[in-house]
A and B are shown apart, each in its own frame.
Chain A
Amino acid sequence: MAIDLQLTAEVTDFLLEEADLLDRRDWDSWLELYEEQCLFWIPAWEDDDVLCEDPDNEVSLIYLDDKNRLKDRVWRINSGLSSSLIRMPRMAHMVSNVRIKEASAERILVHAKFQANAYKLDEHRVDFFFGDYHYELLPKGDSFSIKTKKVIIRNDIIPRQLDFFSV
């Protein structure tokens, strides 16, 4: 397949924008990137090499199949009622290896790699997750919106916290 450099550049910029919004904790702008009927999904692992790909019969780490569920998590941060979210980690997301797997007028499928670094103030500790992003993007005006974001975490022992902003 010929590489569509223009589209790759636009998609990359969009993914970097999402990463930056998470790092800057601009949750409202982050939510705006998502479709109303969206899926934010982090599957669990079953074994060394077996990922749980059937979310209605197997466990996911996070499975949010509606934008309202994303809003729940943002609400929880803003509510001040969750002690785990009082001292938010300082995050820096790295996104790379962006590749268009499929593109049409209706949708664009994108694979990318990420490393999300967290400095946790309570524990004076650095943790990070790394792995893959699989996006289904819809063209929206001169940019995109997110229909599906599937995150495959490759180091899946969770050091206390894994939320939408941790990956």
Chain B
Amino acid sequence: MKPENIKWRVVDKPGETFKVHRSIYTDPDIYQTELEQIFEGNWIYIAHDSQLPNANDYFTTLVGRQPVVISRDDEGKLHGFINACTHRGAKICRKKKGNTKNWSCPYHGWVFNPQGEILDIKSLDTANYPDSFQKSDYDLTRIKVDSYAGFIFASVNTEVQELKDHLAGAKVFMDLFNEQSAEGLEILPGTSVYTHHGNWKMQAENGVDGYHVDTVHASYFRIAANRNERAAKEGAEDKVKAIDPLTEQPRNGTYTLGNGHQLFWIDVPNFRDRGLGMEYDALVERVGEVKAKWMAARLRQLVIYPNVILFDGISTQMRHWRPLSQDETEVTVNCIAPVGEPAESRTRRLRQYEDFYGASGLATPDDLTEFDACQDGYYGIKSAWHDFNRGMTQIIDGPDDVVAEITTEVLNSAPHMADEGLYHHNYRNWLKLMTRKMPTQQGAV
């Protein structure tokens, strides 16, 4: 897709207006270009360290449309490959995850190791390959894999920038997330996958949309309040203790962190009811007052562009997604928790996670319904533009006083989480990725 066919869809006049054309959510050509330029051209979150902890563990997933396998070698180093045999293309590792020293392709029996090297070509002695034959030409096709703070990313574009540079200002907040425990984090057993009607970009918007919270999740907050009332009245125990960031209008805001990454935050009044809040005093001792406040008392939702959100507030969630078409998205959610936390905190964390998140929780289904309603609405192309102008006059260049306590690597700050200024960064980055020149695709000879 030519840059001039994309650029007009974003109107960016700082201080005046910021508009996107709703065809970006519905146009199949835009979607195709997103797959090539973003999902198969950029870093994509794929897994957490704890999902393949041991030597010879592997983990399979998709990056864009491409099947990949990530492995860990004897020295703990991560590798990634296109999950297709170099002989006839059959997927080699077939299960979601596993542990094996030799990968034997079930179709014609070729064998590889977790470093992607070909170990055996069946009946090579009778193969009569041409003179130019080199066994090593049949090693698996390598992709880029790297991790930061336990979060593993991959890119099928081998010329992509270094992961640390890509993560930019998000790293500080990934550290905050990771340092909940001195022993790191672990994905808890129990993965849920759901699909919804609605373009993937709504996932990246809605996860840092502070404006929808009290409307879309009204039923959730009413239930939370009712539980509190009932517990107080009956002297009974509210086992879930829903986190309620809204009733006292605490301080909140948003930041843009570079390369499309964004964050919103809000102080949680009853933070001592949170899994980590129950350990608050010990946490202060370990990481200091400022960090402890950020980690336990401040709800944070961090979008790492384009496909994952780290939730730390109402429990702790990793949510990542994969577009299935311009209209359909597949979402994978996991509860992530500090290694070695006390049993009571672990249980609290799980109940809060199940209560709010996931297609079976009390909040996410309402979000999904809005995605569906938006996607339908976007086809009303006679009403083609929408703006992200809320908070336009309050955008601060660089960090505000709150975030300055922990980092300066912030592009913009906004004093209200309901402000929409962070989306300017989101879509400026989108435009940049969509219109940049990619290395020539292999094959188009």
Contacts and interface: CB of A to CB of B under 8 A. Distances in A.
Mutual binders A and B: yes
Top 7 A-B residue pairs of the complex, sorted by shortest distance between their CB atoms: A83-B106, A86-B94, A87-B95, A87-B94, A122-B94, A83-B94, A86-B95
A87 B91 CA distance: 14
B139 to A, nearest CB: 23
Nearest to B105: A83
Contacts of B106: 83, 86
Nearest to B94: A86
Contacts of A83: 94, 106-107
Contacts, number: 9
A87 B94 CA distance: 8
Nearest to B193: A124
A83 B106 CA distance: 6
Interface class of chain B by DSSP = loop
A83 B105 CA distance: 10
How many residues of A sit at the interface, in one of the four size bands?
Answer: under 10
Interface residues of B, number: 4
Nearest to B106: A83
Interface of B: 94-95, 106-107
Contacts of A86: 94-95, 106
Contacts of B95: 86-87
Interface of A: 83, 86-87, 122
Nearest to B91: A122
A84 to B, nearest CB: 9
Nearest to A84: B106
A86 B107 CA distance: 13
A39 to B, nearest CB: 32
Nearest to B96: A121
A86 B91 CA distance: 13
Nearest to A82: B106
A122 B94 CA distance: 8
Nearest to A86: B94
Nearest to B195: A124
A120 to B, nearest CB: 13
B61 to A, nearest CB: 13
Contacts of A122: 94
A87 B96 CA distance: 10
9 contacts: A83-B94, A83-B106, A83-B107, A86-B94, A86-B95, A86-B106, A87-B94, A87-B95, A122-B94
A87 B95 CA distance: 8
